């Protein structure tokens, strides 16, 4: 054996996001995943160099859909000839008018502000990574995106709207409007953005930028 044998690099270890068990980091082939041996949670997924592009496109589309879904009526409710158009913010205003301010604030943040801020944060950091720009406060915006991800509840709001329509049809006539299509599109866009947004890859890109 040769005395000049190359020294193998020390293995790198990463923590499981669920149980915090140590998992050895290994190179992953395409479409492979690294699972925790203790709890089975996916610790890492293989990613291609261009995997941030779909998240960037979806976040951009999502920001436009946020505007369209909030300025167009979702449905109209007709009771004995009294027709009322309903937007996303209509429920917030009605809750506030009845004195339920905490609930109104929660619905506003979960259904409007939270998803909009999440998509904006994702767009900001992914744009910086894709365009190789050292924009201000990138680590903080990335942290905000991680926090806001759990408040990305537009799909839940869309499902709640469908359930509410079933109840409203017992009292009057409900007609879907164009805003419902924008709401469905926003729900799909927000969901796919969360699925394709690779936090670890963004962190690695930001480390190279800084």
Instruction: Give the separation between CA 135 and CA 110, rounded to whole angstroms.
Output: 27
> To the nearest whole percent, how much of the chain has pLDDT over 70?
86
The 10s digit of each residue's pLDDT in 71-95 is 888 888 776 667 777 788 887 888 8
Q: Does the pLDDT value for residue 39 go beyond 80?
A: yes
Helix (H, G, I), strand (E, B) or coil at 85: strand
Identify the residue with better confidence: 92 or 34.
92
The 10s digit of each residue's pLDDT in 182-208 is 988 998 998 899 888 888 788 888 887
Question: Do 141 and 125 touch, CB atoms closer than 8 A?
Answer: yes
pLDDT of residue 11: 62
pLDDT of residue 10: 60
Instruction: Please measure the distance between the N-terminal and C-terminal CA atoms of the chain and give it in whole angstroms.
Output: 43
Question: Do 38 and 109 touch, CB atoms closer than 8 A?
Answer: no
pTM above 0.85? no
Where residue 99 falls (left for φ over 0; alpha for ψ -120 to 50; beta otherwise) is: left
Residues 6+ apart with CB under 8 A from 3: none
DSSP for 86-98, please give it. E-HHHHHHHHHHT
| Fold of the 52-209 domain | Butyryl-CoA Dehydrogenase, subunit A; domain 3 (1.20.140)
Instruction: Give the separation between CA 196 and CA 170, rounded to whole angstroms.
Output: 40
Closest listed residue to residue 69, CA positions, set 42, 95, 50, 90: 90
Domain ranges of the chain: 13-45, 52-209
């Amino acid at each position: 054996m040769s005395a000049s044998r190359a020294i193998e690099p020390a293995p790198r270890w990463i923590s499981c996001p669920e149980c915090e068990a140590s998992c050895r980091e290994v190179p992953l082939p395409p479409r492979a995943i690294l699972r925790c041996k203790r709890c089975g949670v996916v610790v890492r997924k293989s990613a291609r160099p261009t995997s941030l592009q779909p998240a960037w496109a979806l976040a951009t589309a999502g920001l436009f859909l946020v505007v369209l879904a909030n300025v167009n009526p979702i449905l109209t409710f007709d009771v004995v000839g009294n027709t009322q158009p309903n937007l996303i913010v209509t429920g917030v205003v009605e809750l506030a008018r009845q004195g339920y301010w905490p609930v109104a604030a929660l619905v506003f943040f979960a259904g409007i502000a939270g998803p909009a801020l999440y998509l904006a944060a994702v767009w900001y950091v992914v744009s910086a990574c894709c365009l190789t720009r050292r924009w201000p406060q990138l680590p903080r915006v990335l942290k905000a995106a991680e926090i806001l991800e759990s408040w990305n509840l537009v799909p839940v709001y869309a499902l709640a709207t469908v359930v509410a329509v079933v109840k409203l049809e017992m009292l009057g006539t409900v007609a879907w409007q164009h805003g419902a299509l924008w709401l469905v599109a926003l729900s799909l866009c927000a969901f796919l953005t969360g699925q394709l947004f690779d936090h670890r890859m963004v962190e690695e890109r930001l480390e190279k930028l800084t």
